[in-house]
Amino acid sequence: MSASNVYYELYRRSSIGVALIDSLDELIKDSKIQPQLAMKILSTFDRSISEALTDKVKSTRLSFKGHLDTYRFCDDVWTFIILDVHFKMEGNEAIVADKIKIVANNVKKPGEP
């Protein structure tokens, strides 16, 4: 299987991913679907959201600053915990958060040059 067919499971922790997992759990609990089918649907979700973020979300840029509280690099994954974060969105929209956790996978997937 080529590396291009493997998509990160990172986005399962997003709001839309958690909502999907909860919905699948409910159907499994009600014995309407099998867990194996749920795993296939989640894999389909991984592909769909990765492609959507790559192809459909265009020209949306943001910048942010803050105080780096924790950093970690393990298994090619960076994890940061930033405090007192100030986001600057497009259109001069500013958002402030006390704390944010950033989990970032390598843009180059394993096996890619």
Partner 1 sequence: MSNNIVGNAYRDIIEDVINSSRIDCEDSGVDETTLRELQLLWQERLTISGVVTFPSDQSAAEPESGTREAKVSCETSTSLRYAGSITLTSAAPQIVPRSTMAAMRSAPHIQELASGERVPAEIAGYSVNGVIKDVRLDGMTGLDSSNSTGSLIFGDVSCITQADGGSQELEVSREVVDRLLEGHILRQKFGRSEHATQQPVPQLVPGKREKANLRASDSSDNDSNNDSDDNEDSDAINSDLDDPEDEIHSQGDENEGSDAMMLCLYDRVTRVKNIWKCDFRDGAVHVNGIDYLFETAKGEFEW
Find the helix or strand (DSSP H, E) in which 87 lies.
strand 77-88
Q: Does 90 bind partner 1 (CB under 8 A)?
A: yes
Q: What separation in angstroms does the CA of 8 have from each of 26, 76, 84, 87, 108?
A: 24, 12, 29, 25, 11
Which of 2, 74, 107, 110 touches partner 1 (CB under 8 A)?
A: 107
Q: Which is nearer to partner 1, 74 or 107 (CB)?
A: 107
Q: Is 55 helix (H, G, I), strand (E, B) or coil?
A: helix
Q: Determine how many CB atoms are found less than 10 A away from the CB of residue 41.
A: 16
Which of 1, 5, 61, 74 touches partner 1 (CB under 8 A)?
A: 61
Q: Which is nearer to partner 1, 6 or 8 (CB)?
A: 8
Q: Does 79 bind partner 1 (CB under 8 A)?
A: no
Which of 3, 94, 101, 112 touches partner 1 (CB under 8 A)?
A: 101
